[in-house]
């Protein structure tokens, strides 16, 4: 029997590693990040000195949430002098979890040296000083003096005070935040309410919640009403406080399209507060920001139907299906959720959005009317009600339910006056029907004054001038609208019509040809007819 030589075995091993590396790289581009992460981790065991493999392993570990592997590979990279700006935060969080305060101090020092996230150092130092029984007031003062940190310092001051038993001062600082009823502070209000529930102070918890403000607060309020001793509540402490900071940072970064960093902070928040539904929501949002819909949906499905956050999770999940034009699936899921909570206005709106995508306008209008009634009964904010009335008016318009649609749009305008979007919608809906043109033009002019940078509103104003016979201003505003949205078929068609009436026939055909390339169906047929025979009364854009 002839045994393979050591050289043969080595080459076979190298070939296997190369195959795994290629598969891992391909997996990153084929929505198979989990498989890639496992492959990179395996390759790193055989090639522990490869900085490239370590860097790949680090990134995919963050993407999949394997924070143990992320920490291990970050240490390998750090030992070779390769340190990404966010890595000291990961090292700090690892030290906190191990209660190694010396290592945490070292990580903060590195954070300051690398600068990118140095603005966070005072807040992290405050938590470190707090848990060591030292004075953290100076840290908060330093945070308040820094413009970037100041934005987060007020939240963190409240959490630090609660963690240290200074309830009265914390509640005093929280009072104006509660009064503002901002969507961005729901997680904070819920976390503080949860803290007081864990202390057996359900009366204080209830005073912090706005039952009409969000489904999460409404559900927690109802649960407290049924049983003041809510199970699973937890007090604010070091890991939870840091998780809330990272969660808000991750949300803000996701909104700013810093997708990878949004995911980094969301993963760290989840690591520090595992099993927290609010952190799971933040992680799902970060996955959506990274276009990883599958991972986001998987996380959202981990939130139990009994959770106060389950309706928001459903909204995100259904919204993700709608964004992928999976309207039938979205409708089924929304109706399933609505069967559990039949008077939930935001779920009715999601059903309506799914129906709208399926061009079932009559049904959409019917369920939106119910959503408006439910929202009014729940004392929803004027802004929320106005948005529902705009959607209702839009569906009624598409379904031919007019002038009821006009009344819905007027109701939205009365709820939130001087809103450019509502004014534009109200005016344009009348332009399309060629009714009340003088009033419609005034509404759109007002919308333009409020938001002159909007291409959609500028188009509406140019089209209003076209329909009222002002050729010069029609061309002027439609050309400006096109500069803002050059690939918009409606603007191109409007401008082509205006050019034709102004005697600029060659430019008109160019604009129509561009519009025809960008649209389909009935609009394309109308544009083809214009290109063949020019503009007639019957072929003017709707």
pLDDT in tens, 160-212: 999 999 999 999 999 988 887 777 789 999 999 999 999 999 999 999 988 76
CB-facing half-sphere around the CA of 121: CA atoms within 13 A: 19
Under the banding of pLDDT at 50, 70 and 90, the label for residue 238 is: very high
Task: Tell me the average pLDDT across 410-415.
Answer: 96
End-to-end CA distance of the chain: 85
What is residue 150's predicted lDDT score, i.e. its pLDDT? Answer: 85
323: left (phi over 0), alpha (psi -120 to 50) or beta: alpha
Task: Tell me the average pLDDT across 291-308.
Answer: 89
Nearest in space to 187 (alpha carbons), one of 278, 307, 105, 99? 278
Please report how the helices 382-398 and 420-432 are oriented relative to each other, as an axis angle in degrees rounded to 10.
20
SS (H, E, C) 275-318: CCHHHHHHHHHHHHHCCCHHHHHHHHCCCCCCCCCHHHHHHHHH
Please report the DSSP string for 220-237 in residue order.
HHHHHHH-SS-TT-----
Q: Is the pLDDT of residue 44 over 80?
A: no
Can you read off the two tokens belonging to residue 158?
């409240």
Dihedral of CA atoms 159, 161, 163, 168 in degrees, nearest 10, equals: -110
What is residue 107's predicted lDDT score, i.e. its pLDDT? Answer: 96
How far apart CA 123 and CA 154 sit, in angstroms, is 10
What is residue 12's predicted lDDT score, i.e. its pLDDT? Answer: 40
How far apart CA 94 and CA 73 sit, in angstroms, is 13
What is residue 309's predicted lDDT score, i.e. its pLDDT? Answer: 92
pLDDT digit string (tens) for 80-115? Answer: 888 899 999 999 999 999 999 999 999 999 999 998
**Lowest-pLDDT range of 4-13, 52-61, 523-532:** 4-13
Can you read off the two tokens belonging to residue 8?
């043969």
Task: Tell me the average pLDDT across 299-318.
Answer: 88
How far apart CA 184 and CA 193 sit, in angstroms, is 16
How far apart CA 46 and CA 108 sit, in angstroms, is 32
Q: Is the pLDDT of residue 454 over 60?
A: yes
Can you read off the two tokens belonging to residue 205?
């918890």
Under the banding of pLDDT at 50, 70 and 90, the label for residue 32 is: low
Please report which helix (H) or strand (E) contains residue 30, including its range: none
Can you read off the two tokens belonging to residue 130?
């707090």
Q: Is the pLDDT of residue 495 over 70?
A: yes
Under the banding of pLDDT at 50, 70 and 90, the label for residue 293 is: confident
Dihedral of CA atoms 266, 272, 278, 280 in degrees, nearest 10, equals: 60
Neighbours of 180 (CB within 10 A): 8
| pLDDT-above-70 percentage for the chain | 90
pLDDT digit string (tens) for 323-368? Answer: 888 899 999 988 988 888 788 888 899 899 999 999 999 999 999 9
In a 3-state reduction of DSSP, which class is residue 453?
Answer: coil
What is residue 25's predicted lDDT score, i.e. its pLDDT? Answer: 55
**Lowest-pLDDT range of 27-36, 70-79, 112-121:** 27-36
Q: Is the pLDDT of residue 509 over 90?
A: yes
Can you read off the two tokens belonging to residue 410?
């007027």
Q: What is the mean pLDDT of the chain?
A: 88
Greater confidence, 165 or 4?
A: 165
Residue-wise burial string across 196-221, b where 16 or more C-beta atoms lie within 10 A, e elsewhere? bbeeeebebbbebbbbbbbbbbbbbb
What is residue 48's predicted lDDT score, i.e. its pLDDT? Answer: 67
What is residue 466's predicted lDDT score, i.e. its pLDDT? Answer: 96
How far apart CA 459 and CA 473 sit, in angstroms, is 11
Please report which helix (H) or strand (E) contains residue 265, including its range: helix 259-272
**Lowest-pLDDT range of 48-57, 127-136, 432-441, 517-526:** 48-57
Residue count of the chain, please give it.
542
Q: Is the pLDDT of residue 494 over 90?
A: yes
Eight-state DSSP code of residue 542 = -
Under the banding of pLDDT at 50, 70 and 90, the label for residue 36 is: low
């Amino acid at each position: 029997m002839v045994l393979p030589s050591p050289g043969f075995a080595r080459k076979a091993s190298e070939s296997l590693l190369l195959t795994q590396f290629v598969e891992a790289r391909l997996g990153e581009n084929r929505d198979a990040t989990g498989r890639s992460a496992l492959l990179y981790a395996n390759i790193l065991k055989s090639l522990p000195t490869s900085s490239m493999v370590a860097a790949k392993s680090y990134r995919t570990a963050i993407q999949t949430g394997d924070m143990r592997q992320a920490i291990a590979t970050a240490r390998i990279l750090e030992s070779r002098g390769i340190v990404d700006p966010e890595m000291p935060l990961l090292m700090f969080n690892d030290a906190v979890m191990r209660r190694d305060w010396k290592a945490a101090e070292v990580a903060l020092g590195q954070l300051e040296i690398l600068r990118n996230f140095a603005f966070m150092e005072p807040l992290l130092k405050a938590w470190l000083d707090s848990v060591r029984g030292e004075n953290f007031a100076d840290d908060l003062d330093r945070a308040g003096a820094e413009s970037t940190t100041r934005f987060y310092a007020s939240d963190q001051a409240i959490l630090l005070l609660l963690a240290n038993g200074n309830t009265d001062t914390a509640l005093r600082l929280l009072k104006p935040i509660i009064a503002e009823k901002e969507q961005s502070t729901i997680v904070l209000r819920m976390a503080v309410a949860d803290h007081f529930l864990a202390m057996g102070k359900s009366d204080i918890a209830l005073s912090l919640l706005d039952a009409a403000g969000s489904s999460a607060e409404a559900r927690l309020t109802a649960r407290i009403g049924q049983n003041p001793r809510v199970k699973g509540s937890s007090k604010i402490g070091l890991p939870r406080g840091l998780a809330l900071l990272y969660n808000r940072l991750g949300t803000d970064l996701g909104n700013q399209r810093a997708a990878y960093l949004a995911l980094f902070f969301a993963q760290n928040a989840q690591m520090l507060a595992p099993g927290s539904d609010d952190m799971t929501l933040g992680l799902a949002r970060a996955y959506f920001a990274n276009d990883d819909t599958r991972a986001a949906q998987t996380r959202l499905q981990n939130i139990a139907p009994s959770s106060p956050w389950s309706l928001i999770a459903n909204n995100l999940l259904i919204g993700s299906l709608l964004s992928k034009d999976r309207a039938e699936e979205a409708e089924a899921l929304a109706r399933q959720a609505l069967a559990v909570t039949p008077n939930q206005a935001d779920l009715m709106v999601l059903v309506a959005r799914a129906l709208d995508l399926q061009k079932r306008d009559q049904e959409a209008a019917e369920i939106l009317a119910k959503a408006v009634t439910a929202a009014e009964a729940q004392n929803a904010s004027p802004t929320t009600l106005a948005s529902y009335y705009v959607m209702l008016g839009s569906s009624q318009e598409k379904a031919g339910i007019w002038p009821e649609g006009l009344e819905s749009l007027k109701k939205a305008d009365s709820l939130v006056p001087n809103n450019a979007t509502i004014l534009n919608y109200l005016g344009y809906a009348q332009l399309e029907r060629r009714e009340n043109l003088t009033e419609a033009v005034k509404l759109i002019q007002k919308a333009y004054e409020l938001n002159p940078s909007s291409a959609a509103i500028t188009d509406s104003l140019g089209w209003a001038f076209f329909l009222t016979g002002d050729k010069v201003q029609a061309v002027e505003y439609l050309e400006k609208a096109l500069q803002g949205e050059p690939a918009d078929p409606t603007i191109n068609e409007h401008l082509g019509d205006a050019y034709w009436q102004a005697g600029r026939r060659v430019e008109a055909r160019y604009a129509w040809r561009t519009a025809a390339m960008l649209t389909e169906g009935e609009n394309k047929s109308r544009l083809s007819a214009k290109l063949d025979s020019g503009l007639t009364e019957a072929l003017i854009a709707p």
